[in-house]
């Protein structure tokens, strides 16, 4: 018999680790999962008192972990420490990301490495650590990666970001292939043009802003909350047979 709809999206007694949870997409993701019953571990490069306060207002526990994901060393030890203090992680949302902009002829190695380390390398090794824990405990789990429309397209002036997001798409499929039989689903969400810090420069450029809006069938920039249902679905029991997918949440951008 099919489970009741409310139970399909119930995350009670789950622990969700959300990277980049201080603002924007990450904060909205953390609040969505908390509203569904999950306790939240927020991992970011700076304290996130607002996110923590709002999660606790929803009646869920919030654990803050300040860590720069520009470093990929020691992530297995970090996950072990998180699980000792906050409980075993059931859901990992790899949201943290940075962007650097420069023409391809001017793009620096430092900017390449900075983006690749946060957006791809640390994403993989954090996922590896969580997957090892899930398999060691013999329980199912969810890994959700935040990709981008630039996992499908080239973009301009964002060489390392585009490369990393293509890598996220590939890793999502690879991890789904290897982990699916062990009860761990791995999926990605590809947000469209969202009103977040990463798009501040684009939104401040009147010409570029209008070019983008003209292509979006929905006629507006996305808001972090627009990801809520997609994240909840991929994190919940309802998506048990969804694996290796990349779900665009883009207002129709890719359809144009």
User: What's the chain's average pLDDT?
Assistant: 95
Domains of the chain, first to last: 5-248 (3.40.50.720)
What is the structure's pLDDT at 5? 65
Which residues on adjacent β-strands are paired with residue 94? 145
**Which among 42, 82, 46 has a CA at the least distance from the CA of 62?**
42
Element (H, E) at 175: helix 159-179
Q: pLDDT band at residue 10, thresholds of 50, 70 and 90?
A: very high
193 noted as active-site residue: no
State both tokens at 174: 């690879």
Model confidence at 132: pLDDT above 90? yes
CA 252 to chain CA centroid, nearest Å: 20
For 148-169, how does the pLDDT look when each residue is reduced to its tens digit (9 = 90+)? 999 999 999 999 999 999 999 9
3-state secondary structure of 243: coil
For 232-248, how does the pLDDT look when each residue is reduced to its tens digit (9 = 90+)? 999 999 999 999 999 99
Model confidence at 146: pLDDT above 90? yes
Span 165-181, average pLDDT:
98
Q: pLDDT band at residue 1, thresholds of 50, 70 and 90?
A: very low
Element (H, E) at 93: strand 91-94
Q: From the candidates 9, 161, 193, 253, give the one annotated as an active-site residue.
A: 161
What is the structure's pLDDT at 116? 98
**Which among 211, 214, 222 has a CA at the least distance from the CA of 250?**
222
CA distances from 118 to 21, 68, 80 (A): 14, 8, 20
């Amino acid at each position: 018999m099919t489970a009741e709809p409310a139970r399909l999206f119930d995350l009670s007694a789950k622990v969700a680790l959300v990277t980049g949870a201080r603002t924007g997409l990450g904060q909205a993701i953390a609040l969505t999962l908390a509203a569904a019953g999950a306790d939240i571990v927020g991992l970011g490069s700076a304290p996130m008192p607002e996110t923590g306060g709002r999660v606790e207002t929803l009646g869920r526990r919030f654990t803050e972990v300040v860590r720069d994901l520009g470093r990929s060393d020691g992530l297995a030890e970090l996950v072990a420490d998180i699980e000792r203090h906050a409980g075993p992680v059931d859901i990992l949302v790899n949201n943290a990301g940075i962007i650097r902009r420069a023409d391809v002829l001017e793009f620096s190695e430092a900017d390449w490495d900075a983006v690749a380390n946060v957006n791809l390398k640390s994403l993989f090794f954090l996922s590896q650590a969580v997957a090892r824990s899930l398999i060691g405990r013999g329980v199912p789990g969810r890994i959700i990666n935040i990709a981008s429309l630039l996992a499908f397209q080239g973009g301009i002036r964002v060489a390392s970001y585009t490369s990393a997001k293509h890598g996220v798409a590939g890793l999502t499929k690879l991890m789904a292939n290897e982990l699916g039989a062990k009860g761990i689903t791995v999926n990605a969400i590809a947000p469209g043009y969202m009103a977040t810090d990463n798009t501040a420069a684009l939104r401040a450029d009147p010409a570029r802003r209008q070019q983008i809006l003209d292509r979006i069938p929905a006629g507006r920039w996305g808001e972090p909350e627009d990801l809520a249902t997609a994240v909840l679905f991929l994190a919940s029991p309802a998506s048990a047979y969804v694996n290796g997918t990349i779900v665009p949440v883009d207002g129709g951008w890719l359809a144009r």
